[in-house]
């Protein structure tokens, strides 16, 4: 029974997901001690720009798609850029993963603990986060608990575990169908956004499969928004500046230790990685 982590990294003009993914993979190997494979549309770039990529990754799996969306990416509360957003390949996890048991994580999900180390050989075929915690601890988080106030529970496609079984193959086929017919499903489930998000598709698919289909990953999805800033990475300790309530452009300092955190501000994450790499 093979086990490993799969990370997706598809670059845009401003954010080097390839660099972020190498850093994330090193954290996985340090804290979870399993092999890591990369799914990317930039295999040539990652091999050229990250000399240790081929030794870090078990496999580098190249994909190609011209389909993408656009999204506004913030770097703190006062700066933002509208960039290409390539997030449409997550439905192909079963096809792409080289492992019998797979943990999929976003490249900006920074592993800083062994919390996920014991998920393997799980009695459940599919694990995912539903409960979450915003490190700012004051913002309205209802949009991360339900698709809308009258709708179904929200699940995070940022990190999930699956076995390759008949049921999980059916689940990912359902994700593909939701993606292909997104306008229909977003109207059916009263999702305000016309932009396809994996979180939305996974939440809808889990609802359709029945909530007994999934079980929770250990812990919670801890996160900062891209309105917040990652300031420093010191092994398992992370320092952040999180938005201050009612004071736009002002922040409160927050520290974490031995806590996995979804860092949505990729610009600040990249700056910290460059600092870590060049120490």
User: What pLDDT, in 10s, does the model give residues 219-270?
Assistant: 999 999 999 999 999 999 999 999 999 998 999 999 999 999 999 999 999 9
Residues 267-279, mean pLDDT to the nearest whole number? 80
User: Are the CB atoms for 104 and 91 separated by under 8 Å?
Assistant: no
Lookup: tokens for 18:
């390839």
**Location of structure tokens 């492992």:** 99
* Rounded CA separation 88/68 (Å): 7
Determine the pLDDT at residue 69. Answer: 76
Residue pLDDT, tens place only, 22-35: 999 999 999 999 99
Q: Is the pLDDT of residue 278 over 50?
A: no
Question: Which pLDDT does position 66 carry in this prediction?
Answer: 62
Which pLDDT score, from 0 to 100, does residue 13 have? 59
Per-residue pLDDT at 4 exceeds 70: yes
**Domain formed by 3-72+82-220, architecture:** Alpha-Beta Complex (3.90)
Q: SS3 for 207? A: helix
Share above pLDDT 70 across residues of the chain, in percent, rounded to a whole number: 96
Q: How confident is the model at residue 41 (pLDDT cuts 50, 70, 90)?
A: confident
Dist CA 178 CA 184 (whole Å): 8
Cα 138 to the center of its chain, rounded Å: 22
Beta bridge mates, 39: 8, 61
Which pLDDT value is given to residue 70?
Answer: 82
The whole-number pLDDT of residue 15 equals 82
Q: Find the DSSP H helices in 111-165.
A: none
Choose between 268 and 275: higher pLDDT. 268
Angle made by CA atoms 35, 40, 42, in degrees to the nearest 5 = 125
Beta strands 261-263; 247-257: pairing state: unpaired
Confidence of residue 91 (pLDDT cuts 50, 70, 90): very high
Checking if the pLDDT of 149 tops 80, the result is: no
Rounded distance between C-alpha atoms, residue 130 and residue 155, angstroms: 5
| Residue 241, pLDDT score | 97
Please, are residues 81 and 73 in contact by the beta-carbon 8 Å criterion? Answer: yes
Please, what's the b/e burial string for 85-97 (b: 16 or more CB within 10 A of its CB; e: otherwise)? bbbbbbbbbbebb
CA distance 17 to 40: 9
What is the reported pLDDT for 279? 39
How far does Cα 56 stand from its chain's mean position? 19
Domain ranges of the chain: 3-72+82-220
The pLDDT, as a whole number, for residue 61 is 94
Neighbours of 124 (CB within 10 A): 14
Contact 160, 104 (CB under 8 A): yes
Question: What is the total residue count of the chain?
Answer: 279
Structure tokens at 206: 């889990």
Cα 217 to Cα 115: distance, rounded to the nearest angstrom: 9
pLDDT confidence band for 50 (50 / 70 / 90): confident
């Amino acid at each position: 029974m093979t086990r490993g982590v799969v990370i997706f990294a598809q670059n845009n003009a401003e954010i080097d997901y390839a660099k972020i993914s190498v850093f994330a993979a090193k954290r996985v190997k340090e804290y979870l001690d399993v092999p890591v494979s990369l799914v990317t549309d930039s295999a040539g770039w990652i091999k050229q720009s990250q000399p240790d990529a081929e030794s870090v990754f078990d496999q580098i799996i190249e994909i190609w798609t011209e389909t993408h969306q656009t999204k506004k990416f913030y770097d703190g509360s006062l700066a933002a850029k509208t960039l290409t957003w390539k997030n449409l390949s997550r439905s192909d996890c079963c096809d792409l993963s080289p492992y019998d048991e797979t943990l999929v994580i976003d490249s900006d999900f920074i592993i800083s603990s062994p919390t996920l180390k014991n998920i393997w050989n799980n009695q459940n075929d599919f694990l995912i986060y539903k409960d979450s915690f915003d490190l700012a601890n004051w913002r309205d988080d209802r949009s991360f608990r339900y698709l809308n106030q009258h709708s179904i529970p929200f699940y995070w496609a940022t990190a999930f575990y699956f076995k390759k079984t008949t049921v999980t193959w059916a689940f990912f086929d359902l994700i593909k169908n939701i993606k292909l017919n997104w306008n229909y499903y977003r109207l059916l489930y009263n999702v305000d956004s016309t932009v396809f998000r994996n979180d939305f598709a996974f939440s809808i698919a889990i609802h359709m499969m029945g909530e007994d289909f999934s079980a929770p990953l250990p812990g919670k999805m801890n996160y900062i928004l891209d309105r917040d800033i990652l300031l420093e990475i010191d092994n398992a300790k992370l320092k952040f500046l999180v938005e201050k309530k009612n004071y736009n452009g002002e922040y409160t300092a927050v520290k974490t230790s031995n806590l996995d955190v979804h860092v949505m501000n990729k610009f600040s994450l990249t700056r910290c990685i460059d600092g870590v790499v060049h120490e």
